[in-house]
Amino acid sequence: MAEKLLKFVSVSRAMPDKRPAAERRADFGEIYAGFAARFAQVQASRCSQCGVPFCQVHCPLNNNIPDWLKLTAEGRLEEAYEISAATNTFPEICGRICPQDRLCEGNCVIEQSGHGTVTIGAIEKHVTDTAFEMGWVQPVKPIRELGQSIGIIGAGPAGLSAGEALRRKGYQVTIYDRHDRVGGLLIYGIPNFKLDKQVVVRREKLLREGGIKFELNIEIGRDISLDDLRQRHDAVLIATGVYKARDLAAPGSGAKGIVPALQYLTAANRDGLGDNVAEIASGELSARDKNVVVIGGGDTAMDCVRTAIRQGARSVKCLYRRDRANMPGSQREVANAEEEGVEFIWQSAPAAFLDDEAGKVKAVRAERIHLGMPDGTGRQTPRVIEGSAFDLPADLVVKALGFEPEDLPQRLKAPALSITKANTVRVNWRNLTTTIPGVFAAGDIVRGASLVVWAIRDGRDAAAGIDTYLQESSRKAAAE
């Protein structure tokens, strides 16, 4: 039965069922169930169909959210899927992992008026998962094949969304990645309990069926130079992400058992994918039976603490120098971590790491922090409280302090590639061109560490820039 809209006055906001914390702790499965069809329909009917939809304005992809909510409420899921997929290359992925509280849902008008947001992300996931089940999601079929080819460096969301958009137009697309699998951080960063890896693999299959070629285990700059790649293709897109982990300078930080977050998460993800991971087997990168301390307050730190819980850690503590209200990580993820048994130690920072005779970490010496006056950015300045040191026993310490771009001109052996002060690739934001003709860039490597949805948006914009560039090149060649 079709649902009327504006039901937010009579129907309360509800999320799909979340598995009990005790059950979640024991496996790496996603924590939310899917919406039942009828339930999604009723939740979609809460939308107030605003004249100016702030949800859409604050979605980086400007998804036509009110339209697909209306169609879902009316039970017209195939059309809802068509509208959703018209602006989003991977709606089922965004529905799962976008921080909706900061984007679409956080700006939903009925949320602002105190009724609780429409569950946009969960409905987006439901619509696309249903579309896959029903066979409505098909590989791209270009109307005509074009002779020009594009080489994309990086098979993360930016590279994949650009690849899909270009292939749709008929270009020949090859995506290169230094990893053995497609997906970038979707596969080796974000844990399975947030994004089931089969969801990523399902997309990869579709992209291959649509004619995109993947060249894996190839590192541009080591195996092929950017120059050679540029000779091979009519245009090149750099979508390499950011991988230089911020480090700690505290005494003892070189002790064994202190590891960077991505190394830890990649090992856990590979293990989950069935790879034989020596560092997990040896215990080096496993939290089993250990006291684990994770340092940092972002989403990566949340992924680490929750991974450690699932690996069977004895205790898991998160050390963060600011308070809960100032955490960069999503409040939803903090709540999930707390439910699963993570202890947060707010306003505390590591001062030193203590090790045993074998050079293995045995404790983190931390100091309490006072949050002082706001600085130029408006954030309160953290100050160490003298004489407040305390020790936390630790057999495994994970550093999750964020990521910065690597020195890309040096890594790609491309000195003509201009970068910004923050080491991101300098682009013209109108079309995402770099300082090398025919070379474009998208995703984290132009924004700094950001979000999947922004990477998809950049990929889409870069594809439009590449299309215009190639059409102009063809016109010029024809005129000569």
State the residues that interact with ligand FAD by CB under 6 A.
97-98, 153-159, 176-179, 184-185, 189-190, 194, 219-221, 239-241, 265, 299-300, 303, 443-444, 450-453, 455
Q: Of residues 31, 44, 83, 98, which one binds ligand SF4 by CB under 6 A?
A: 98
Q: Within 13 Å and on the Cβ side, how many CA atoms surround 233?
A: 26
Q: How far apart are CA 247 and CA 401, in angstroms?
A: 7
Residue whose tokens read 């998208």: 442
CA–CA gap between residue 153 and residue 195 (Å, rounded): 23
Cβ neighbors of 378 (< 8 A, separation 6 or more) are none
**Binding span for ligand SF4 by CB under 6 A among 8-16, 22-30, 119-127, 134-142:** 119-127
| DSSP secondary structure letter of residue 419 | B
Q: Tell me how many residues contact ligand SF4 (CB under 6 A).
A: 15
Neighbours of 263 (CB within 10 A): 15
Subset of 398-457 contacting ligand SF4 (CB under 6 A): 453
The whole-angstrom separation of Cα 418 and Cα 436 is: 8
- The correct pick among 108, 120, 220, 292 for binding ligand SF4 (CB under 6 A) is 120
- Alpha-carbon distance of 82 to 56, in angstroms, equals 16
Q: Which does 190 bind (CB under 5 to 8 A by kind): ligand FAD, ligand SF4, none?
A: ligand FAD
With CB under 5 to 8 Å by kind, the binding choice for 165 among ligand SF4, ligand FAD, none is: none
Residues 159-188 that bind ligand SF4 (CB under 6 A): none
Q: Is 110 in the site for ligand SF4 (CB under 6 A)?
A: no
In whole angstroms, the minimum distance from the beta carbon of 384 to ligand FAD comes to: 28
> What radius of gyration do the chain's Cα atoms show?
23
Q: Give the footprint of ligand SF4 on residues 78-97 (CB under 6 A).
A: 88, 94-95
Which lies closer to ligand FAD via its Cβ, residue 13 or residue 178?
A: 178
Question: Tokens 């100050």 map to which residue?
Answer: 383
Nearest Cα residue to 248 out of 327, 350, 319, 345? 350
Contact between 381 and 334 (Cβ < 8 Å): no
291 Cβ neighbours under 8 A, 6+ residues apart: 313, 314, 315, 317, 392, 393, 394, 395, 396
- Residue entry with tokens 């509800």: 14
Query: Is residue 236 part of the contact set for ligand SF4 (CB under 6 A)?
Result: no
Residue 100: contacted member of ligand SF4, ligand FAD, none (CB under 5 to 8 Å, by partner type)? ligand SF4
Which range, of 10-18, 116-124, 152-160, 433-441, touches ligand SF4 by CB under 6 A? 116-124
CB 174 within 8 A of CB 151: yes
Report what 176 binds from ligand SF4, ligand FAD, none; CB cut-off 5-8 Å by kind.
ligand FAD
Q: Please report whether residue 103 would count as binding ligand SF4 according to CB under 6 A.
A: yes
For ligand SF4, the binding residues (CB under 6 A) are: 59, 61, 63, 65, 88, 94-95, 98, 100, 103-104, 120-121, 124, 453
